[in-house]
């Protein structure tokens, strides 16, 4: 069984077990933080940073104490988490998805630069939409409502989270960091959940202390 089919079978089976037992389907909240050290939260040993909200999530959820990221870089890690495949197999190995040039079939150069000992394969600059993601499986096979909020950095339109199974997208554009002031895509709100007029899409602004 290949990796996408294995991922699909695992997720659908877990959802089926939950429904068969009569238990409500668990909510799944997956937080990926750029440049977060492995001991930067209290639950993982920090004596300096106080992270009570994350600690509370950890107490109610599952902790992975012997797991490694697929890459030390943001975009390859995100693509790997979405698919269950290594960045090298996806051919997306550096965070270059904000660049204007579209590269979907990167090549290995015939020679290396004079200061390098080996040739470095080029990288995709977009995460192709034809990959099956766990989000699509949870939405289409298990009936979950899905949302993406924050940094995407896996490509310009049409390589956006809306095309990878997310119903609601807030942010989620090509930027390698926060979008610049005045950028028309900085909010990036699209395809909201069905809601009644009494349920605003975003919370009301906080009062300003005077």
List the catalytic residues.
Answer: 74, 153
Residue 101, CA distances (Å) to 104, 125, 156 in order: 10, 7, 10
Asked if residue 77 lies in contact with residue 32, where contact means CB atoms within 8 angstroms, the answer is yes
Asked if residue 75 lies in contact with residue 94, where contact means CB atoms within 8 angstroms, the answer is yes
Tokens of 76: 């390859």
* Range list of H helices, the chain: 3-20, 52-60, 74-83, 87-90, 134-140
Chain-centre distance of CA 195, in angstroms? 25
DSSP class of 190: B
């Amino acid at each position: 069984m290949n990796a996408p089919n294995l991922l699909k079978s695992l997720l659908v089976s877990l959802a089926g077990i939950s429904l068969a037992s009569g238990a409500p389907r668990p909510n799944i909240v997956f937080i990926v933080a750029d440049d977060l050290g492995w001991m930067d939260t209290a639950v993982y040993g920090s004596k300096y940073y106080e992270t009570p909200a994350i600690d509370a999530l950890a107490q109610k959820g599952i902790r992975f104490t012997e797991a490694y990221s697929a890459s030390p870089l943001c975009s390859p890690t995100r693509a790997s988490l979405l698919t269950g495949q290594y960045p090298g197999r996806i051919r997306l190995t550096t965070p270059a998805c904000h660049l204007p040039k579209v590269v979907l079939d990167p090549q290995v150069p015939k020679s290396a630069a004079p200061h390098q000992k080996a040739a470095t394969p080029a990288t995709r600059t977009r995460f192709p939409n034809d990959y099956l993601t766990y989000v699509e499986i949870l939405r289409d096979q298990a009936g979950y409502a899905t949302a993406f909020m924050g940094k995407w950095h896996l490509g310009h339109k049409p390589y956006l989270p809306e095309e990878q199974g997310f119903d609601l997208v807030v942010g989620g554009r090509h930027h390698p960091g926060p979008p610049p002031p005045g950028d028309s895509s900085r909010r990036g709100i699209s395809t909201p959940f069905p809601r009644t007029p009494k349920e605003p899409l975003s919370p009301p602004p906080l009062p300003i202390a005077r």
